[in-house]
Amino acid sequence: MKEEIFIGGWTLSRLRDKSQNERHAIWKRAKALHSAEGNHLARAIERLGLPYAEPEPLTAEDPLMVRMREILGTPAARSAALEATLDGLPAMAGIDVLLHEQLGEEYRTNAAAAPTAQELTAELMTGLGYAEAGRKELPARCVARSGVFWKRA
């Protein structure tokens, strides 16, 4: 028996293979279509029974959060964020690479790590006197998919 194919070529087995963040992005795009086909795909993702919502950031007591805070408090993190900003990228592009280098799989596979890194990066950049100036996509090498672009306040 053939598997049902949804808009964009998605099947339930392909959706099961995606991470929580990836399923959330697919669900969000499907809902944004405001079409019967998009709604059909969104409902299929909801019925899968697998997590698809954007995960909440880590709690303050979580050991990964503690390590991420330590890393973002270093001069290397400030430099990475500022260098990415000067290159026209979200500061998260520099932070994401730094976190992946230092935390490895623990950062890449934890669904709450990227949203937490986004929050910590926002704290860092506002503390350095920057203000939000929109969102941009991150390079493909990054764990996070998009981030805030910052400008001098």
d(CA 75, CA 132): 21
- Give me the pLDDT at residue 56, please: 75
At 97-149, the pLDDT tens digits run: 999 999 999 998 887 898 899 999 999 999 999 999 999 989 988 888 889 99
Burial environment of residue 134 by CB neighbours within 10 A (0 to 12, 13 to 18, 19 or more): exposed
Place of tokens 């929109």: 134
- Give me the pLDDT at residue 1, please: 66
At 33-51, the pLDDT tens digits run: 999 999 999 999 999 988 8
Residue percentage of the chain with pLDDT more than 70 = 99
Extents of the domains making up the chain? 7-47, 63-152
Give SS3 for 11.
coil
- Give me the pLDDT at residue 151, please: 95
Structural element, H or E, at residue 112? none
Q: Are strands 130-137 and 146-152 parallel, antiparallel or unpaired?
A: antiparallel
Does pTM top 0.75 for this prediction? no
Whole-Å CA distances, 73 to 67, 69, 82, 105: 10, 6, 14, 21
